[in-house]
Amino acid sequence: MNHKRPLILVTNDDGYDAPGIKHLTDIAQEFGDVVLVGPMKGQSGMSHAVTLHEPIRLKKVSEEDGLRIFACSGTPADCVKIALHQLLNRKPDLIVSGINHGSNSSVSLFYSGTVAAVVEGCMNGIQSIAFSVDDHSMDADFSIAVKYVRTIIREALANGIPSNTCLNVNFPKAATEICKGIKVCRQTMGVWKEEFDHRIDPHGRDYYWLTGFFQNNELGEEDTDDWAVQHNYAAIVPIKVDVTDYDALQPLKNWNVDYE
C-alpha cells in the first residue's frame, strides 16, 4: 500500500459483505488506501462487546492494490482491535464504520456495534465516524448516504475531528431529492420500550422474541438527531469517549459519606 496516501480502516456490524459496507469501501477508496475488517456474520446490537472466552479468527477475503479485505469472527470492537494490533503497520488516518442498515440515532448508539467500532478507534486517538441509514432492509437505498458520506470523509480528513470525539452520522430513509441537507445535532433523549413476544417451542418450553418501539421523550425538539432524521435531514452528532457528568461531581462530593 502507498504510504503517501491516507490509510482508512473500514468496518461495520452487519458483516464484511453487507451492501452498506461495500458502498462505504468504494467511497473510502477515493480518499486513500483501505483495509476492511468486518465481522464474518451480523453483529448488530453487540455494543462494545469483545471476545474473551473463545479464539478470534481472521480470514483474508481478498487483496488488490490499495484494498485488503478481512473477515473476523469477533465483534465490531474486536475487528478494530485486531486491525490496529495485528494487521496494520501504521495507525490509520481515519476509521469509518457502516453504512449500517438501520438508524443509530438517540440511545440506539449505546447498543450499536457500528458506533462501538468508532468509539474504539477514538479511544486509540484515531479520527472515527459511524454512518447509518434509517432502513433495516438489506436492499436499502444508500443514495443519500453515498452523497453525504463522501463530503463528510473529505472534510474530516481536511479539517480533523476534535480530540477524544467521534461522529455518529444518521441518514433518513428518503429519496436523494427529498433530503434537505445536513444538521449538526445533539443526541435525542428517549428510551426503547421493550416488548417480548412469548412463544412455546414443540417441546413445551417457553421462549421469547425481543420486540418493542422507540419512545422519543423530546418530540418537537428540532436540535436533536431523531427530529432531523424524521424530517429528512442527515444528522451528525459528536460523541465523546469521556462520559463523566462533570455537573454531578460537586453534588456527589456534598454527600454525607467518608470520602478520601
Q: Which residue has the higher pLDDT, 191 or 169?
A: 169
Contact predicate 85/117, CB 8 Å: no
So what's the architecture of 7-188+219-253 in CATH? 3-Layer(aba) Sandwich (3.40)
C-alpha span between 179 and 199 (Å, rounded)? 41
Give the least confident one: 20-24, 63-67, 80-84, 206-210: 206-210
The predicted-structure confidence for 86-137, as pLDDT tens digits, reads as follows 999 999 999 999 999 999 999 889 999 999 999 999 999 999 999 999 998 8
pLDDT at 76: 96
CA dihedral 56→52→112→110, nearest 10 degrees, is: -160
Structural domain boundaries in the chain:
7-188+219-253
C-alpha span between 157 and 136 (Å, rounded)? 29
CA dihedral 23→29→31→35, nearest 10 degrees, is: 100
C-alpha span between 79 and 155 (Å, rounded)? 25
Tell whether the model's pLDDT for residue 2 goes beyond 70.
no
Pairing of strands 206-216, 165-171: unpaired
Pairing of strands 206-216, 128-133: unpaired
In the chain, what percentage of residues exceed pLDDT 70? 98
Confidence of residue 218 (pLDDT cuts 50, 70, 90): confident
- Which three three-digit cell numbers place residue 187? 443526541
